[in-house]
Amino acid sequence: MSRFLRVGQAITSPASNTTRKVIPVPIYVDEHGYVQNAGFVFQPIPALEHGRLQGPHAIVLHRTVSSTARNSLNAFARGIGTHFLIDKDGTIYQTASLLQKTYHVGPIRSRCFEEGTCDAAEQAAVESLERRQGYRDVHNREKVKPYPDRFPMNEGSVGIEVVAMYTEATRQWDPPTPEQSESITLLARILKTQYSLTDADIYEHDRISRKTAGEGAGLYDGSDSVPARFPPPFF
Ligand SMILES: [Zn+2]
């Protein structure tokens, strides 16, 4: 067929010659605190939102201890949970506004104590609290410090839950599926870009609070490469 057709008095090209134009759309956080143009599933759970989020200046990674996203979403309705939930197939649910804090961290550990950078007086004070398991007192001591002198708290951090089980007998967490890993990379990259964060601002829950060891381990590898599933124009 000729590249051109005569239509009435004009010459045009057949529809089969048309090349679709891909228009890049920027990913951004809208005025309601939801991530637009990234293919997320919005599933707002009002019970999760507990007042204005500062910053945010950090990201905290969690595993759910559930086998399905549905179970976690149902649990979130009780008021404790994260801004994002990543299902086994990589689907990213946004469940709370990024303008709102959610309850997902709990009492924080002493950062200088964990990292061996306390001065002598602080070291002695925290040691004595740790000895008698005064974890709430440790938290109260920490919370008056500015971030990043302390670990992030609910007030300034974004929470991400990844659907995964814990096996008590072997003390093993499910590794992320390849799709979950890709979604974590994508979401981390979006949040880092939106809020000028670095990988140093991404934390594993059990490293900063009193949680089952390994809860947040192996979820984020620091890779900044855009997963093949999310081609341009995403970035
Ligand atoms: Zn957690």
**If you measure from the C-alpha of residue 100 to the centroid of ligand 1, how many angstroms do you get, rounded to a whole number?**
18
Please give the Cα distance from 54 to 37 (Å, whole number): 24
pTM of the model: 0.89
**If you measure from the C-alpha of residue 70 to the centroid of ligand 1, how many angstroms do you get, rounded to a whole number?**
17
**Longest alpha-carbon distance in the chain:** 92
**pLDDT for residue 218:** 96
H or E element in which residue 114 lies? helix 111-115
Angle at which helices 120-131 and 135-143 cross, to 10°: 150
By the 8 A CB rule, do 129 and 138 touch?
yes
**If you measure from the C-alpha of residue 207 to the centroid of ligand 1, how many angstroms do you get, rounded to a whole number?**
10
**pLDDT for residue 231:** 57
DSSP string, 141-197: HHHTSPTTTS---GGGEEEEEE---EETTTTEEPPPPHHHHHHHHHHHHHHHHHHT-
**Six-digit token pair at 58?**
């950090």
**If you measure from the C-alpha of residue 233 to the centroid of ligand 1, how many angstroms do you get, rounded to a whole number?**
32
Q: Which residues contact 71 (CB under 8 A, 6 or more apart)?
A: 64
Please give the Cα distance from 60 to 204 (Å, whole number): 6
Q: What's the CATH code, domain 28-108+151-208?
A: 3.40.80.10
**If you measure from the C-alpha of residue 105 to the centroid of ligand 1, how many angstroms do you get, rounded to a whole number?**
7
**pLDDT for residue 25:** 81
**pLDDT for residue 8:** 75
Name residue, tokens 């381990």: 217
Q: Domain segments of the chain: what residues?
A: 28-108+151-208
Per-residue pLDDT for the chain (235 aa), expressed as one digit of tens each?
556 677 777 777 777 777 777 677 888 999 999 999 999 999 999 999 999 999 999 999 999 999 999 999 999 999 999 999 999 999 999 999 999 999 999 999 999 999 999 999 999 999 999 999 999 999 999 999 999 999 999 999 999 999 999 999 999 999 999 999 999 999 999 999 999 999 999 999 999 999 999 999 999 988 777 666 665 555 5
**If you measure from the C-alpha of residue 215 to the centroid of ligand 1, how many angstroms do you get, rounded to a whole number?**
7
**pLDDT for residue 222:** 86
By the 8 A CB rule, do 85 and 31 touch?
no
**pLDDT for residue 3:** 67
**If you measure from the C-alpha of residue 67 to the centroid of ligand 1, how many angstroms do you get, rounded to a whole number?**
15
Q: How many CB atoms lie within 10 A of CB 90?
A: 19
**If you measure from the C-alpha of residue 98 to the centroid of ligand 1, how many angstroms do you get, rounded to a whole number?**
18
Pairing of strands 84-86, 92-94: antiparallel
Give strand pairing partners of 161: 62, 85
**If you measure from the C-alpha of residue 232 to the centroid of ligand 1, how many angstroms do you get, rounded to a whole number?**
32
